[in-house]
A and B are shown apart, each in its own frame.
Chain A
């Protein structure tokens, strides 16, 4: 059974439109004008127990709004949400018992007291059995390296330290579902690694369902098995990450470093790119990034074509990255190809 069931979910905001300038500001005070903005326009999906879903989209695409409706903070304008069989806005307390959440820009820890004091309070508020609590504290301290951080007030922690403590707090009561809204924002590579490992481990050990929004597609690649891409309030793609990677695996990206980019080479690249199965992604300085279709052209073919117009100094090939996939999906959508299912 799906732990999260969303049907035709919509959210509209009423935005106060301010006129420009001082006189406009004063006018708006007496005659406020409102505009309706549809942040989420009829979204539907099901999420099964233990799934790790990446929920991605550009800034303002409606990600956070969806997450906030799932947690029960925001009331949907219309549509249905069932989480563990409960309506989050109706059964707030029961629902909150079973979920955990991290919002990258917020803190659920008390700012002025040592982290461990916040954890003790969470233990009481969530009525966590003391054995479970002790077990989790020991386990989380080890995997996230909390150690001496536990005795420092939150306001004195660095961003990375704080985020590790936040993540631990969200998992402390063994929630069935954890919502992570940009948990790795602004963190360095080492901390990101730790957090990703931790999330994967908990999903394996406790079958925690994880919904993750992020702009760091590396997070998605390492953590998630499924992605939902949302754009302008509608779902653009929903599917298995491996599947979509397989679909795109016929593509690869070659970075070619040439001695010099001549006009002749440029003209050549521009004229033939369409029909021979390769596409110029970018040209920076003397490096040309080319996306090519392995079924239509071999790497030797790419090499040959360029070397006939310039001297190749270096060449590297990568499988297509998740970034490029998402970008391609966005482009398809804007071309009207439609990929939502």
Chain B
């Protein structure tokens, strides 16, 4: 089991390395966005040093972390799955003696590791030298952040996987990707921290899984949630993982029965 995991991750890192330009693209785009967001938020914070309980220093770190996460969770997994379904290449994956979802999950981990090392780490170094990133508050909080972050990536995988499966019905993944990006931008808090949302929008966001993908880990890191609230957030994330695991598996089992393989 572990052998498969390691080998699949290794292969996916190699595939990512084969597309080094893609990794550079993610790096440049994310860095650019961070600077744009930085200037916008600095204009907002011109007169106040704390808005909605978030300080100027916190918002800078918020921008950096949430933009990195946003790039990671919208950088091409849905089109990759979509292409595979659309062209019928998916049948070769379905013929592997492995659970299909697990097979995709392992590959997603490979993508993630490649992204972390080639895009995320360099950006964190550059931005901490230029804009300044808030240091972790303390070791327990940082540990909770790491846990929350890994759960965030898992939630994101299930969402991407489920939206990717819709290609069985739409035959085309570009619209789905755009749809996911729109939902994620708003409801994950990647664009605007959820603390800034009006009450009704906050209520909607709380009912959706998207804030578990970005807002939860970042707000733990920054101490926007503290004390026992942190455990509530972690428990909530875990609950979403379980819900999405069950739903996405049911959906997959349902969708493959309807599969018509493209191209003979």
Encoded as 1 (CB less than 8 Å from any A CB) or 0, chain B from 1 to 40 comes to 0011001100100110011000000000000000000000
| Structural contact, B11 and A121, CB atoms closer than 8 A | yes
CB-nearest residue of chain B to A120: B7
User: With A13-B260, A73-B259, A106-B92 as given contacts, are A112 and B98 in contact (CB-CB < 8 Å)?
Assistant: no
CB-nearest residue of chain A to B4: A124
- By a CB distance below 8 angstroms, the chain B residues around A75 are 256-257, 259
| Structural contact, B91 and A106, CB atoms closer than 8 A | yes
User: With A96-B96, A121-B11 as given contacts, are A68 and B261 in contact (CB-CB < 8 Å)?
Assistant: yes
- Name the contact of A107 in the complex, choosing from B4, B92, B98 (C-beta under 8 A): B92
| Structural contact, A112 and B95, CB atoms closer than 8 A | no
Measured as residues with beta carbon below 8 angstroms from the partner, the interface class of chain B is 20 to 34
| Cα separation A126 to B97 with both chains bound (whole Å) | 7
CB distance from A174 to the nearest CB of B (A): 13
Q: Does A251 contact B (CB under 8 A)?
A: no
| Structural contact, A106 and B89, CB atoms closer than 8 A | yes
Q: Does A246 contact B (CB under 8 A)?
A: no
Encoded as 1 (CB less than 8 Å from any A CB) or 0, chain B from 86 to 104 comes to 0011011011111100000
Residues of B that sit less than 8 Å from A by CB: 3-4, 7-8, 11, 14-15, 18-19, 88-89, 91-92, 94-99, 256-257, 259-261, 263-264
| Structural contact, A125 and B92, CB atoms closer than 8 A | no
| Cα separation A68 to B89 with both chains bound (whole Å) | 13
| Cα separation A244 to B171 with both chains bound (whole Å) | 44
| Structural contact, B18 and A112, CB atoms closer than 8 A | yes
- By a CB distance below 8 angstroms, the chain A residues around B3 are 124
- By a CB distance below 8 angstroms, the chain A residues around B264 are 64, 105
User: With A121-B7, A124-B4 as given contacts, are A103 and B260 in contact (CB-CB < 8 Å)?
Assistant: no
Give A46-98 interface residues, CB cut-off 8 Å to B: 64, 68, 71-75, 92-94, 96-97
- Excluding A75-B256, A110-B11, 11 further A-B contacts by CB distance (< 8 Å) are A68-B261, A72-B94, A73-B259, A101-B95, A107-B89, A117-B14, A124-B8, A125-B4, A125-B98, A126-B97, A153-B18
| Structural contact, B4 and A96, CB atoms closer than 8 A | no
CB-nearest residue of chain A to B14: A113
| Cα separation A205 to B4 with both chains bound (whole Å) | 29
Encoded as 1 (CB less than 8 Å from any B CB) or 0, chain A from 107 to 120 comes to 11010110001101
By Cβ-Cβ distance, the 3 closest A-B pairs, closest first, are A96-B97, A112-B18, A108-B92
- By a CB distance below 8 angstroms, the chain B residues around A96 are 95-98
